[in-house]
A and B are shown apart, each in its own frame.
Chain A
Amino acid sequence: MAAGVVKRRVVVTGIGVVSCCGIGADAFFEGLSHSLGDAPRTVDDFDPANYFEPKEARQTDRFAQFSLASAQMALDDAGELGSDPARSGVIYATGVGGLETLQEQIAVLIGKGPRRVSPRLVPMMMANAGAAAISMRFGFQGPCETVVTACASGTHAIGNAARLIAYGRCDVVISGGAEAAMTPTGELPAIGTAAFGNMTALSSSGWSRPFDSRRDGFVLAEGGAAVVLEEYEHAKARGAHIYAEVLGSASTADAYHITAPLPGGEGARSCMELALDDAGITAADVAHINAHGTSTGLNDLAEAQAITKLFGTPSPPVTSIKGVTGHSLGAAGAIEAVAVCLTLERGLIPPTIGLEEQDPEITIDVVTGESRPFTPGPVLSNSFGFGGHNGCLVLGPVAP
């Protein structure tokens, strides 16, 4: 940061999550310890009627429904913010936006012609629909933007949101991410599932096995998660419950290949290092790493190599919750940030479900089987996206 600029401290005072392993913080965190096997990672219990009038629900794509639902939960959790609407922002993420609506309307275009394409298509499919819905519902009139960096979107959104507070533009920002790219429409299977499948990125077994020798790709998921970020003194003054402090973040690009990571995990390594610098800590201070850990051959090896390079052996305890949650693309980083908040609050690192035979080329310390107790300290959360986008976030217990 520029010399002479005093960064304000940023804390998390509310969390909300809509995940295939649970809706709401308690159900979600409990769900992280139980295998979902090869079940599809859809959020079957989600009822839009809990968050929307019938007409609104009809005019809101599923990804934006997840956006608003997670934000609503996080804001309810945070309690009365009393913030100036002009200094309250929304920085939200998605990987692909309203794919279900787009697919449905392309079917209409083909079947019935252009005169029948819905006038709601654009406002429903646009990637910023989720952020816009949140600002309208809650009256936040500060910056309202959407971050789209594929699977790194959620992490980047939270990093960017924290900077708005750190540098004094906002006192409160609701941040997070949502994705719903796997809904079939009518008789058509979901185009998102078909496309990711044909990239050979998806697991053919349907099992998510981060860091396992038998891992065969990621398991596509849907969901959303939100965090309420608040300036520390603002939170303290109103007696808010504080989950964690956002200590730092980093964003870099591989500038290498549209889908493959830089060999040896160099992109991941340098991004993690920058995030630690931003937090003003060193590798030795890191108590735990919540990995990107997608269960693909390339990602897990590159990420593990990067962790070994930066942290040595043994590494801090590493987990990938994607063994349970699957990979929800632009929501993943936000869901994992919520997992980290709960990990810190409960002093328990959730296990990497699905990992049974660790790849011998991967020598990091992965938490398996059941949750591992730990002494809360700075936690690094990683996200890496197609396009070569790298995002790292450092969350930690708030210092008194």
Chain B
Amino acid sequence: MAEDATYEKFRNCAVEVLQVTAEKVVPEARFDNDLDADSLDLVEFVMALEETFDITVDESELDGVETVGQAYELVTSKI
């Protein structure tokens, strides 16, 4: 249940920043192809996550993060 609430907050950030529908924010969705997000969108998304979850994500930690699932994993590892 706690995880669901966390995912919902995570998903809201994606919906708000990337302007996509909630249904598109699924673990296997790729930021570039499925969510039409460019590099600046990702920076904005990470900033929103940092703010929402009160975490800090270094740029280097984003290497290899290409899907929603990977990003969510990164976030949950920090809270």
Chain A: residues with CB nearer than 8 A to chain B?
53-55, 58, 112, 115-116, 118-120, 123
Contacts and interface: CB of A to CB of B under 8 A. Distances in A.
Interface string B38-53: 0010011001001100
Given A53-B19, A123-B40, 9 more contacts: A55-B18, A112-B51, A115-B47, A116-B47, A118-B44, A118-B47, A119-B44, A119-B47, A120-B40
Contacts of B43: 119
Given A55-B18, A55-B19, A58-B19, A119 B40 contact: yes
Given A54-B19, A55-B18, A58-B19, A116 B44 contact: no
Interface of B: 18-19, 36, 40, 43-44, 47, 50-51
9 contacts: A53-B19, A54-B19, A112-B51, A115-B50, A118-B44, A118-B47, A119-B43, A120-B44, A123-B40
A53 B43 CA distance: 20
Contacts of B19: 53-55, 58
Contacts of B36: 55
A55 B50 CA distance: 21
B16 to A, nearest CB: 9
B57 to A, nearest CB: 10
Contact of A116 (B18, B40, B51): B51
B23 to A, nearest CB: 16
A53 B21 CA distance: 13
Contacts of A55: 18-19, 36
A286 to B, nearest CB: 49
A338 B10 CA distance: 48
Contacts of A120: 40, 44
Contacts of A53: 19
A58 to B, nearest CB: 7
A316 to B, nearest CB: 51
B30 to A, nearest CB: 17
A55 B36 CA distance: 10
B55 to A, nearest CB: 12
Closest 6 pairs (CB-CB, A-B): A55-B19, A119-B43, A119-B40, A54-B19, A120-B40, A119-B44
Nearest to B36: A55
A126 to B, nearest CB: 14
A115 B55 CA distance: 12
Nearest to A118: B44
Contacts of A112: 51
A118 B51 CA distance: 13
A292 to B, nearest CB: 39
Contacts of A116: 47, 51
Contacts of A119: 40, 43-44, 47
A78 B47 CA distance: 43
A123 B47 CA distance: 17
Contacts of B47: 115-116, 118-119
